[in-house]
Amino acid sequence: MNERILIIGAGAVGAYVGGHFARAGHDVILADPWPAHVEKMQADGLRLEGMTEAECFESKPRAMHFTDLQSLAKEKPADIAFICVKSYDTPWAAALAKNYLAPDGFMVSLQNGINEDAIAAVIGWNKVIGCIASKIVVELVEPGFVRRSVTKGGENYTVFRVGEPHGRPSARVQRIHDMLADIDSVKVTTNLWGERWSKLVQNAMGNGLSAATGMSNKQFTQNETARRLSIRLAGEAVRAGQLQGLSLEKISGLDPEQWVAAAHELTSGANDTPVLDEMEARMLTQAEKMSDTARPSMGQDMIKGRRTEIEFLNGLVVQRAKEMGMEAPANAGLIKAVQSVERGEAPAGLERVEGF
């Protein structure tokens, strides 16, 4: 069955996935608000570039302006709608997709943050699936051109994790699994919320740092001040997740408790810091394998002058931490730093994240 797939938001992730879907022969429509991007795809297709020759190809998905989506009312409705917009755009994007979704269709949140609840508020929990793209590092470089700056996960790392909110396997989750398997490693998870929060920890420890400092992933990992703040951010976020009763997955290959322990060694002023020492050595080794220029999505957004998702990432950590009776001062400080740069009150730089 050739199901129709509608992707709302053809930014880095949406276009990357959509480009692969089109090459695989799926009936896919990419809808995006950036006119130049849509028109480039309509005229010349979509160019994708990766770390190997096999990942570099041109694809020809059907691309549409948001203003033209109303014409889909005369066509076959979509069976699956992927929501790939920024977290702050989720409610209206879900409402837009709902108009063109088949009665038995469903939506997939393929986004940073935790947005399934916002989609469910539009269409109901029975029509929502969650999907995490972990360590994918893709960038919409220019209209019609997406670059992936890290090697594929393959057997070494599971990039996509897809699951039902209720945690049980289902036929529709398996369908998404099979579609994504053509792109990179994927698994069906029965722990969607634990997976979501684990990805949130990864986002919280790097996205805002890049946005506030202007540094790439490699640069802030190799800088002691930024690296140690990253560990504190992760420790707070992990603890907030644990207090919610979530079963967290490994984060950057390490057990959640290790991030909490390393952060504690940093903030307690302990003279003996075995967990921290081992973690920093590991992070520095990993940094050597990173691209010099690759930035997380929020770092890209800041450079492009776009609104950041800081309140939906680190902001959610602070909110949930407060609800659980704990404080998250590193995350709260980072929010202020990012917002000051975003508002043009201060330039991006390491000094933005010093002293908190």
Order of strands across the sheet that contains 145-148? 57-59, 46-49, 145-148, 138-142
Longest Cα–Cα distance in the chain: 69
Instruction: State the Cα–Cα distance between residues 90 and 66, nearest whole angstrom.
Output: 14
| Strand partners of residue 30 | 7, 63
Helix segments in the chain, DSSP class H:
12-23, 35-44, 90-98, 116-123, 171-180, 192-213, 217-222, 224-243, 256-268, 274-287, 297-303, 314-323, 329-342
| Residues 6+ away with beta carbon under 8 Å from 312 | 87, 88, 112, 113, 115
Domains of the chain: 4-190 (3.40.50.720), 195-353 (1.10.1040.10)
DSSP at 133: E
**Which class for 36: exposed (0-12), middle (13-18), buried (19 or more C-beta within 10 A)?**
exposed
The 3-state DSSP class for residue 327 equals coil
pLDDT in tens, the chain (356 residues): 589 999 999 999 999 999 999 999 999 999 999 999 999 999 999 999 999 999 999 999 999 999 999 999 999 999 999 999 999 999 999 999 999 999 999 999 999 999 999 999 999 999 999 999 998 999 999 999 999 998 898 888 999 999 999 999 999 999 999 999 999 999 999 999 999 999 999 999 999 999 999 999 999 999 999 999 999 999 999 999 999 999 999 999 999 999 999 999 999 988 899 999 999 999 999 999 888 888 999 999 999 999 999 999 999 999 999 999 999 999 999 999 999 999 999 999 999 999 88
> In b/e form, how buried is each residue of 91-122, taking b as 16+ CB within 10 angstroms?
eebbebbbebbeeebbbbbbbbbbbbebbbeb
| Strand partners of residue 8 | 31, 83
The 3-state DSSP class for residue 90 equals helix
The long-range contacts involving 282-289, CB below 8 angstroms and separated by at least 24 positions, are: 282/253, 282/254, 283/221, 283/227, 283/252, 284/221, 284/222, 284/227, 286/221, 286/252, 287/217, 287/218, 287/221, 287/222
**Tokens standing for 321?**
């931490």
